[in-house]
Amino acid sequence: MIVMFMGEYHQKIDDKSRLTIPAKLRNELGNNFIVTRGLDGCLFIYKKETWEKIVNNYQTLPNVKEARNFMRFFLSGATTIDCDKQGRINISQPLINHANLNKDTVIIGVGDRLEVWDSAKWENLLSENEENFSEMADNLFSQNLN
């Protein structure tokens, strides 16, 4: 079964760097999953099965500097995570620093992954792009409509 993550969930990081994953999302993620540096200043969370497919695809990349640097960035930040009994995960300091996470966060579903954003950064991203969403949709999907 293909999992399609979607939605927006506002959560807080506690003083021990723990973030609660909403129950609905935990049910879809399974017992353990992968958290890594994401693109655009967020964290990515993948189901273990999805992560394995991604890594297998990356291993087919050519051995060129750009691919090596991307692999270093993406894989060095990755860690397998288990939720505690309250549904919390412990986020490492390097990952918190990468996404500039403060107390208020937003977890969003983006198809095959979740993204964790600092709340203020997420709101800025939305407001900066709000006027362009219609144009983005036209550019990305118009050729698929016919």
Q: Is the pLDDT of residue 6 over 90?
A: yes
Residue of 1 and 2 predicted with greater confidence: 2
Q: Is the pLDDT of residue 93 over 90?
A: yes
Residue of 145 and 66 predicted with greater confidence: 66
Structural domain boundaries of the chain?
8-118
Instruction: With CA atoms as reference, report the closest residue to 113 among 9, 24, 35.
Output: 35
Q: Is the pLDDT of residue 73 over 70?
A: yes
Q: CA 17, CA 14: separation in Å to the nearest integer? A: 5
Phi, psi of 79 (to 5 degrees): -150, 145
- Using pLDDT thresholds of 50, 70 and 90, give the confidence band for residue 131: confident
Residue of 142 and 96 predicted with greater confidence: 96
- Fold assignment, 8-118: Chemotaxis protein chec (3.40.1550)
Q: What is the pLDDT of residues 27-52, one digit of tens each?
A: 999 878 999 999 999 999 999 999 99
Determine the Cα angle at 36 with ends 94 and 106, to 5°. 85
Instruction: With CA atoms as reference, report the closest residue to 121 among 41, 18, 37.
Output: 41
Residue of 142 and 35 predicted with greater confidence: 35
pLDDT score of 145: 53
Average pLDDT of the chain is 91
pLDDT score of 144: 61
